[in-house]
Amino acid sequence: MDCKGALKKNNYDIEKSVDYLREKGKAEAAKKADRDADEGIVYSYIHPGNKIGVLVEVNCETDFVAKTDDFKNLVKEIAMQIAAADPRWVSREEVSQEDIEREKNVITKQLKEQNKPVNIIEKIIEGKLGKFYSQRCLLEQPYIREEKKTVKDIIQDSISKLGENIQVSRFCRFEIGK
């Protein structure tokens, strides 16, 4: 019925209807973000070659959803993302002010060496901090299987599909020699 309604609303334009349904799903996911996610699973992933291992805790609202194949597949994908992309934090909110200041100092020194005008240095710093977050924060990283999406996007897609709040609580990545 949602599909039929979307088609009617968008004058039977399939592309617009798909976009409408995706946006509607994101709105529904945002509504669920405040709900408690006290269930879930801890998943272990060992990358082929046995040089990288990941433990990740992903939470949802009920044990029923935690036992579904869709949820388990999402958690596996997140673990593989962690193994491949080596994030340091789950989200930018976890990055300490000390780490942000250290990164800003490095960027500022680089820009001064390049003789960038002072009036645009702040804008460049903000842009480079955004890139820093997208490289080091799991939820902001481009998803390894579809780089146009972020990890947060695939989680929101799962929230829409499963109907529950889903959160990555924490992870630990092990790599031989590091």
Q: Would you kindly state where each structural domain of the chain is located, as residue ranges?
A: 1-32, 36-86+145-175, 96-133
Residue 166: pLDDT band (50, 70, 90) is: very high
Residue 56, φ and ψ in degrees, nearest 5? -135, 140
pLDDT at 154: 96
pLDDT at 32: 47
Average of pLDDT values for 62-84? 96
Amino acid at 7: L
Listed in sequence order, the DSSP H helices in the chain are 2-9, 14-32, 63-66, 69-85, 97-113, 118-136, 151-162
pLDDT at 23: 72
Residue 39, φ and ψ in degrees, nearest 5? -110, -175
Quick check: pTM over 0.85? no
- Class of the CATH-defined domain 36-86+145-175: alpha beta
Average of pLDDT values for 151-158? 96
